[in-house]
Amino acid sequence: MDTVARMRVGVYIDGFNLYYGARRLCGRGAPGWRWLDLRALSHAILAGPGFSWPGATIERVVYCTARIKGAGDQSGQRDQDVYLRALKAHGAVDVLEMGTYVSRVATAPLAVADRRQRPVLTHPGWPLMVRDSQGADSPQATFMASVARREEKGSDVNVASHLLLDVLEQRVDAAIVISNDSDLKFPIVQARMRVPVGTVNPTVGYLAGALAGNAADGVGRHWWHQLRSAQIEASQLPANVGKITRPPGW
């Protein structure tokens, strides 16, 4: 009797891209999505309709994130620490790769987002108008805002590095990348030349154009998937992982 050869699948997750995408999909204040079992989510994605990789099994789950700094968010730092310990204790990840988390002050034009989340600059208009040095209305002026900004550094590089190392060293036969970061274009294109790649958009927005492609590129059998809130909510860790308890509100 013929048997289907096992296909080893590596899953490469941009932690902050997934977090903020899931927050938009499920609702920022809603419970039931933060305590995410990354291995269970990977299985749920792979088991979805239309993903024809016979014999596919999850071989490696690589989670790339950064530790929140407690100086500006002590409760967030505590909750994140609990979550990372739960992931490791439950075996929900094989590799936990940490970048850095930085806080800085940024100055930029005031803007709002359009329906595709692109910035649209805000201009003066009555009853709030800006006038130039001659006293004339200046409706094309821009408002500048100085804000505290927190961001992670290194997750995209770590995702790219683990993806390419595992593909080139033949540790995996296929890959799933969970991110909508266009900076990953080059490593994903290169991976597609060598193994089938599933690209998962965890955000509510459109797939980044740089991550698009053709299912037949390279070795072929690639696919693209928009993550759904139901998949996130159905892929939660147990409330108690050993002595580790899910934070309140999660």
Least confident interval from 30-34, 97-101, 185-189: 97-101
Could you tell me what percent of the chain has a pLDDT over 90? 69
pLDDT digits (tens, 9 = 90+) for 195-232: 999 999 999 999 999 999 999 999 999 999 999 999 99
pLDDT for 156: 94
The predicted structure's pLDDT at residue 2: 55
* pLDDT in the model for residue 166: 98
Residue 127: asked if its preceding bond is cis (omega within 30°), the reply is: yes
**What is the percentage of the chain residues whose pLDDT exceeds 70?**
92
Mention every residue, 6+ apart, whose C-beta is less than 8 A from residue 42.
9, 11, 58, 61, 176
Contact between 40 and 47 (Cβ < 8 Å): no
Buried b (16+ CB within 10 A) or exposed e, 171-194: ebbbbbbbbbbebbbebbebbbeb
Tokens 């929140």, located at residue? 68
pLDDT for 49-85, tens place per residue? 777 799 999 999 999 999 987 666 688 899 999 999 9
Whether 146 contacts 107, CB under 8 Å:
yes
Among the listed residues 227, 221, 225, the one whose alpha carbon sits nearest the alpha carbon of residue 38 = 227
Residue 115 has a pLDDT of 79
Average pLDDT over residues 161-166: 98
pLDDT of res. 104:
62
- Does position 153 have pLDDT exceeding 90, yes or no? no
Give pLDDT, residue 152.
65
The answer on pLDDT for 30 being more than 80 is: yes
Question: Measured between alpha carbons, how far is residue 193 from residues 129, 149, 168, 196, 244 in Å?
Answer: 55, 37, 11, 8, 42
- pLDDT score recorded for residue 102: 63
Q: What is the 3-state secondary structure (H, E, C) of 87-111?
A: HHHHCCCCEEEEEEEEEEEEEEECE
Task: Please check whether residue 149 is in contact with residue 105, taking contact to mean a CB–CB distance below 8 angstroms.
Answer: yes
Looking up tokens 């958009």 gives 201
Q: What is the mean pLDDT of the chain?
A: 90
pLDDT band at 34 (very low <50, low <70, confident <90, very high): very high
